[in-house]
Amino acid sequence: MYYKSRSYKIFSFFNYTFLILISLLCIIPMVHILAVSFSGKAAANANLVGLFPVNFTFEAYAKTLANENFLRSLWVAVQRTVLGTLISMTLITLAAYPLSKESHKFKRRNIYTWFFVFTMLFNGGLIPFYILIQKLNMMNTLWVLILPGAVSVWNMILLLNFFRGVPKELEEAAFIDGAGHLRTLFSIYLPVSLPAIATLSLFTMVGHWNNWFDGLIFMTDHKNYPLATFLQTIIVQQDFSKVAVRPEDLENISNRTVKAAQIFIGMLPILLVYPYLQRFFVKGIVLGAVKE
Amino acid sequence: MLLPAIILVLIFSYIPMAGLVIAFQDFKPWLGFGKSNWVGLEYFRFLFSTPEYVQVIWNTLIIAGLKMVTGLIAPFTFALLLNEVRRATFKKTVQTLVYLPHFLSWVILGGILLDMLATEGLVNQFLGAVFGLEPIFFLGDGDWFRFIVVLSDVWKEFGFGTIVFLASLAAINPSLYEAAEVDGASRWEQVKYITIPALIPITIVVGTLSLGNILNAGFDQIFNLYNALVYDKGDIIDTFVYRMGIIDGNFGFSTAVGLFKSVVGFILIIIAYRLAYKLANYRIF
C-alpha cells in the first residue's frame, strides 16, 4: 500500500501545504481589498492595512452608496444582466433545438450549423463593428449591450450537445401524444436539460455583469455606463472627467477605501452566485471540452 | 425557431465582415464605403515596414506564447497534485478557492492588482519586509509588465483550466492502479506509467487548440493594467487597434491590422482543429 509508505507521507505533507498556500494566494488579494474597504481612511492611505481592517468603519460603503453615479451604473448593470440573460437564453434555446436534430430530419442542418460556427472563427473586428453600431443608431442604448452578443454560438453548441443526449424515446412518446415541436421543447427538453440551462444562464449573467468594454465604447454619455464600465473609468483609468463629479466629491471618489468598497460591491454578485454556479459548471464544461 | 438567431448573427457578425473593405480604403466616415478612395495594400505595407508596428506583433506573439506554455503546465501540474489528495472536502475547498478568480473580470482584478503592485502596495511592502528589496515599479517597467501579465493570467485561469484535466483523471479505469499496486509499483511509478500517459491526449487537444489564440494575448487584461510607460513592450495587436481606431480615428489602418489578425487567427484555428482531430481524435461538434 503506497500511501502508508514513509516517502508518500512526506510527499503528502508537502502536497497539502503547497495546495493550501496556492489556495490562499488565490483569495488573498480579495481579502486585502475587503480589509481596505472597511478600514479608516488614514490607515488605508498610510498603507497600514494588510488582511484585516484597521479602525473598522462602514464609511466607505456609506459614501459609495450615496454616490448617484454609482447607483445609476448599478441599475444599468442590473437591467442589462437580467434582460440580456433572458433574451440570450431564449434565442440560443430556440436555435439549439432544431440544430440538435439528426440531419435526415432537418435537411440543411449542417449548413445552418456552419453559418453560426463560422462567426466563432472569423469576424469583422472592432472598427467595422463600431461603425455598424453607429449607423444603426444604437449608441447610448441599452440594446447595444444586449443584442450583439445575444447569440453566443459557443453556448448554443454546448446546449445542442446536451439536447442530443436526451433519450429519443421521450421525444417520440411526446409526438405520439400529439405534441408539436414547441411543446416538445418546453415540456420535454427544457425540464430534463435544467442543469445545462442553469450553467449557461449563470455564465451569461456573469458575462453581462463583468462586461465593461461595450459600455466604454458605445456609451458616449457616462449616464448610461454599466457598473463595470463605471468602475473601469474610476478605478483603472482614474479618469474622473467622464463621470462629471463635483469638485467636492472628487476626494471621496479617489479615496482608496471608497475605491476598495466599489471594487467589492462590483464583485459581490459574482461571489453570491458563484457557489451555485460551481455545482453545475464542471458538468457543463466537460460536456463541451471532452468529447470522445 | 432558428430565424431570430439567424437575423441577429447576420446583422452583428456578417455585416461587419463586409465592413472589412475599409482595410483597403482611405476611409472617410462622411464619404462612406462607396466614395472613399481605394489604397490597396498600403496599410499592410505600412504595418510590416514600420519598426514600432512590427514590435506590436512581436509583443503579441511573446506574451501569448508565454501564456500558452504556462497556461498548459500550471493546470496540468495542479491537477496531478490535487489528484493525490484523498480527503474529498479538502479537495472541494481547494477547487472552490482556486476557481474564483476566473469569474471576476479584469476590471475588478485590474483594480486590485494596481493597488497591490503599486510601489508602496502590499506586494512591495512584503518583499521589502521579508527580503529587504527596494520597491519595484511592476507596472511601469516593460519587462516587469510582461512578467506580471503572464503571471497574473496564470493566477486567474489555472484553477479553471484544471477542470478539464481533473475530468480526464476521473475517467481513468481504477483497475489499472489496482493491478499496478499488486505488481508492487510505487505511487510515483503509477503516476509516471498510468496517470501521465492517460493525460497526454487531452493535453494535446488543449495545447493545439490554444495555438489558434496565438494572436490573442488578452485585450481585457492588458488594457486594464497597462499605461503609456509600457507601450513599447506591452502593446498588443488588440490594444493597438483600439488606440489607433477608436481613440485616434484611424479607421482604415486599424481595420487592416484587425483583418491581418483575423485571417492569421482563422488559418491557425483551422490547422489546430485539424491537428487536434488527427492527434487526439477531437471534434467540437
Give me the interface pTM, i.e. the ipTM: 0.87
pLDDT tier at A140 (50, 70, 90 boundaries)?
very high
Q: Choose among B97, B105, B223: nearest Cβ to A26.
A: B97
DSSP string of A172-197?
HHHHHTT--HHHHIIIIIHHHTHHHH
Nearest CA in chain A to B155: A26
Nearest CA in chain A to B114: A236
Give the pLDDT mean for A252-277.
85
Question: Cβ of B84 and A15 within 8 Å?
Answer: yes
Q: Compute the mean pLDDT over every residue in chain A, rounded to the nearest whole number.
A: 86
Q: Does domain A63-289 have CATH number 1.10.3720.10?
A: yes
pLDDT tier at A292 (50, 70, 90 boundaries)?
very low
Of B67, B159, B110, nearest to A29 (Cα)? B110
Residue B82 has pLDDT above 90, yes or no: yes
> What span, in angstroms and rounded, lies between the C-alpha atoms of A194 and A40?
46
The interface residues of chain B toward chain A in range 222-281, judged by CB-CB distance below 8 A, are 223-224, 238, 241-242, 245-246, 251, 254-255, 258-259, 261-262, 265-266, 269-270, 281
Assigned C-alpha cell, A84: 440580456
Looking at residue B236, its amino acid is I
- pLDDT value at residue A141: 93
Q: Choose among B107, B116, B281: nearest Cβ to A32.
A: B116
Question: Cβ of A132 and B17 within 8 Å?
Answer: no
Q: At A4, which helix (H) or strand (E)?
A: none
B31 touches chain A (CB under 8 A): no
Residue B103: count of CB within 10 angstroms of its CB: 23
Question: Cβ of A16 and B90 within 8 Å?
Answer: yes
Residues facing B177 on adjacent strands: none
CB contacts of A275 in chain B (<8 Å) are 96
pTM flag (> 0.95): no
Residue A242 has pLDDT above 90, yes or no: no
Give the pLDDT mean for A224-242.
86
Looking at residue B67, its amino acid is K
A142, A79 Cβ separation under 8 angstroms: yes
CB contacts of A278 in chain B (<8 Å) are 95-96, 99
**Which of B15, B96, B103, B199 would you mutate first to test chain A, the one with the most A CBs within 10 A?**
B103
B114 touches chain A (CB under 8 A): yes
B146, B233 Cβ separation under 8 angstroms: yes
Nearest CA of chain B to the CA of A247: how many Å? 23
Looking at residue A181, its amino acid is H
Higher-scoring residue by pLDDT: B280, A226: A226
**Which of A127, A162, A206, A257 would you mutate first to test chain B, the one with the most B CBs within 10 A?**
A127
Nearest CA of chain B to the CA of A245: how many Å? 20
Nearest CA of chain A to the CA of B137: how many Å? 17
Every domain of chain A and the residues it spans = 6-56, 63-289
CB contacts of B12 in chain A (<8 Å) are 129, 132, 147-149
Q: Choose among A19, A33, A291: nearest Cβ to B81.
A: A19
Of A115, A81, A86, A121, nearest to A197 (Cα)? A86
Residue B26: count of CB within 10 angstroms of its CB: 15
Question: Cβ of A33 and B115 within 8 Å?
Answer: yes
Q: In whole angstroms, how far apart are CA B219 and each of A115, B30, B52, B239?
A: 26, 30, 19, 6
Question: Cβ of B246 and A16 within 8 Å?
Answer: no
> What span, in angstroms and rounded, lies between the C-alpha atoms of B244 and B246?
6
Give tens-digit pLDDT for A153-172: 999 998 988 898 888 888 88
CB contacts of A116 in chain B (<8 Å) are 5, 9
Nearest CA in chain A to B185: A2
B23, A129 Cβ separation under 8 angstroms: no
> What span, in angstroms and rounded, lies between the C-alpha atoms of A31 and A264?
10
Give tens-digit pLDDT for A68-105: 889 999 999 999 999 999 999 999 999 999 999 887 77
Give the pLDDT mean for B152-158.
95
Residue B32 has pLDDT above 80, yes or no: no
Start-to-end C-alpha separation, chain A: 33
- pLDDT value at residue A291: 38
B117 touches chain A (CB under 8 A): no
Q: Choose among B12, B110, B122: nearest Cβ to A236.
A: B110
Residues facing B38 on adjacent strands: B25
- pLDDT value at residue B197: 92
Alpha helices in A123-222, H assignment, sequence order: 126-135, 143-146, 153-164, 168-176, 181-184, 190-192, 194-210, 213-218
> What span, in angstroms and rounded, lies between the C-alpha atoms of A216 and B246?
11
CB contacts of B8 in chain A (<8 Å) are 91, 147-148, 150-151
Nearest CA of chain A to the CA of B111: how many Å? 6
Question: Cβ of B19 and A286 within 8 Å?
Answer: no
Alpha helices in B117-195, H assignment, sequence order: 122-131, 142-170, 174-182, 187-190
Looking at residue A22, its amino acid is I
Residues facing B37 on adjacent strands: B26
Question: Cβ of A126 and B242 within 8 Å?
Answer: yes
Give the pLDDT mean for B254-279.
90
Give tens-digit pLDDT for B177-196: 999 989 888 888 899 999 99
Residue A245 has pLDDT above 70, yes or no: no
Nearest CA in chain A to B110: A236
Angle ∠(B32,B34,B39) on CA atoms, nearest 5:
90
Output the CA torsion sign for A86, A90, A91, A96.
Answer: positive
CB contacts of B30 in chain A (<8 Å) are none
pLDDT tier at A25 (50, 70, 90 boundaries)?
very high
Give the pLDDT mean for A230-251.
74
Of A105, A276, A84, nearest to A195 (Cα)? A276
CATH number assigned to the domain covering B37-87+160-280: 1.10.3720.10
The strand pair at B37-38 and B25-26 is best described as: antiparallel
